[in-house]
Amino acid sequence: MAETTIKISLIDVPETRLRPVDPDWAATLADMIQEAGHKTPIDVVSEGERFRLVAGEHRLEAFKLLKRKEIACRVLTPATNQPAEELRLHEILENLGRKDFNALERCEALFELKRIYEAMHPQTKHGGNRKGQAFKNKQQNQVAIFAFCHNAAEKTGLSDRSVRMAVQIFEGLSATSREGLKGTAFAEKQSDLKALAELNHDAQTKVLDLVLGELPKAASIADAKLLLSGRAPEKDTDKLLKRVGDILPSLPRAARFAVFRNHKKDIIALVKKEGWLDV
């Protein structure tokens, strides 16, 4: 792996990058580079007289914002007979190790890691529909999934369970859902993604219409699922009263009085609603 300085005009950015450039992050990096200098070269691969970016797009964009003409680069030389997969793996691991992914990006990155692992270890994929092979294939696939998760956990520092969950979520989301979620608050929380991925693709579309429409009818994935089932979402006051009702009986006497003083009206409403005074 050679390190050198390359003209930015000679570096091409592939359209198949795992994640788009975040302009705010690129601007922040530009300020940091302007203040403290450029510490880490970007990674490229040689393609004739030009170079293709492998990792470091935000740093490259920061240099463009600073109107720099050249940037320090490491020129990678693939070591396997599957250079495209090897370089894609390098890109993903570089991103996982640098700027935090949101939940959707992390799921996509780990799903892509699984695809690359299977491409580079074809023996882990077992096809065929012969009935006599069904049980054996199932066992082999379970071993392959475990091997991938263990490998990914070592490379990313995530637990096997986290890797499995992320891949399962991304596989459960439709292509339309994945695209619709990008750039939204719902892409930030894995619990929202999991709740959506548990639905069939048609239901996912309906849920996203409810939360992402011009006039959203639901504030959360959970509320949208309730609306689809024909039930009304809980109001914030209902959620508060339910929590109070759950914890109040277990509190010491003095604490119960304190809660009552601070939430007298809400607690009276809860008592009436639940019929606790009915005989």
How confident is the model over 140-168, as pLDDT tens digits? 444 444 455 555 555 555 677 777 888 89
How confident is the model over 9-40, as pLDDT tens digits? 999 988 877 677 888 888 988 888 888 888 78
Domains, the chain, ordered by start: 2-81 (3.90.1530.10), 86-228 (1.10.10.2830), 236-274 (no CATH)
Q: How many CB atoms lie within 10 A of CB 194?
A: 18
Band (pLDDT 50/70/90 cuts) for residue 105 is confident
CA distances from 180 to 17, 21, 101, 196 (A): 18, 18, 17, 12
Is pLDDT above 70 for 221?
Answer: yes
How confident is the model over 51-86, as pLDDT tens digits? 988 888 888 999 999 999 999 998 887 665 556 666
The predicted structure's pLDDT at residue 124 = 52
Percentage with pLDDT > 70 across the chain: 64
The predicted structure's pLDDT at residue 81 = 58
Is the pTM above the cut of 0.75?
no
CA distances from 30 to 3, 23, 109, 153, 207 (A): 21, 10, 25, 32, 39
